[in-house]
Amino acid sequence: MQARIPKSAALAALLALLAPVLAQAHDEAPGLPTVTTALSPLPKSPTLDVSSLKINKPAKLVDEEAFREKDVWGRIRSGYAIPDVNNDLVAKHINWYATRPDYIARTTARASLYLFHVVSELEKRGMPTELALLPFIESAFNPNALSSANAAGMWQFVPGTGRDFNLKQDAFKDERRGILASTDAALTYLQRLYDMFGDWQLALAAYNWGEGSVQKAIKRNQAAGKPTDFESLADLMPAETRNYVPKLQAVKNIVANPQQYNLSLPAIDNSPYFTAVDKTSDIDLTVAAHLAELSVDEFKALNPQFKRPVIVGGEDTKILLPKENAEKFHINLAQWSKELSTWSTHKITSARESIRSLASRFHTSPEVIRQANNIPQNSVLKAGSTILVPKLSASVNTNIGAEVADNATVAFEDERAGKSAAKGYKQAKAGKSEKSSPVALVKARVPRDAAKSKNHRKTNH
């Protein structure tokens, strides 16, 4: 294991590495319009009494013994409970990981933000703690990962399964990417699969392949008088599923004894990295980051579910902040004299409303409207669309209603061909802009080579 590095020294080293990358990301980052007015410097003031400010503290673990571990890796090891697999596929994947220490370093750096929360939730439910390593296989702990099957987030939910587990997907947010919501949904789903099959290896296969497919494979082997454990069913599975449990076993073995494979794992403090803060009104994403004294990239790494430049939602909407930044957020919020949100919505009632005319009406540029609403160049809005527009003075103190956010859609068509280009908000596609994803740039809890950090989607090596 690597020696623990003081947070101040680690942060200084990381920021030095990130400087050129962050500058590039600022130029390429999509979806956020250029801020036309500078945010006011945060005032320096005497320490305020924040005892009355409402911050949601992480719940105490059911098992207080967990806090005796030196770091989160120790907690994971102590809770291993899924029977081991030992076959050629496991050896193959161990070799793949062991020969790629840079990949291990990037992935564990991302995981350092989220692992404490995931392990705590598993322990509360009495579930095997090696399940905390599953996002290593699914998404390399990238909450912005998107597969070719449109599975999104750290736990890789497809849209339909996400809705089955109450993960909201609307114009303003996609909870499949949210750390709290997606983790709760994934663990609920995994427990349901275990209850269905009575076997964690089959539950994992069903998580990847679908419960119906696993049930059919079981029935086929039963009819042939064959065993129905994971390895006995493996020949009936697609290659991805056949490799799924062995991949997790490979990561499990590495975490159990990294030195055996000439690897090292960064020390991750056995304490919460973030806390949840209540959001009481609409707030621009850039303003929220500013008040928390975080970069937009750092803020988005903990709050990747928010898709638009303004965070809307009801009383249950929360934002996640590193513990040390949550107090700063409340102090700065109490002294903030400007509007928290500069955005409102406008419903297109006529095809005659062009983006250029809308820009003139709302005192902005066509490019700002296109960026805020993910509208491609050479496209025109269709009647019925609800788009984000800058607030006018008459709507300064109004919030975007939850019913508007829940039902807003954007439809546009090619300006020249007149053919529909898309309906609804587009999901992010792989491309140049993905290379500057916030999760690759966030301040990790451990040092890493940030200049080489890249997004990693679900891989089948």
Q: At what angle do helices 101-111 and 88-98 cross, to 10 degrees?
A: 90
| Among 236, 234, 257, 253, residue whose Cα is nearest residue 244 | 234
138 is catalytic: yes
Picking from 194, 195, 216, 218, the residue whose alpha carbon sits closest to that of residue 204 is 194
Choose, from 121, 123, 130, 138, the residue flagged as catalytic. 138
For 50, residues 6+ apart whose C-beta sits below 8 A from its C-beta are 327, 330, 331
CA distance 141 to 148: 17
CA distance readout (Å), 118 to 126, 127, 155, 180, 411: 12, 11, 11, 9, 37
> Which residues are known to be catalytic?
138
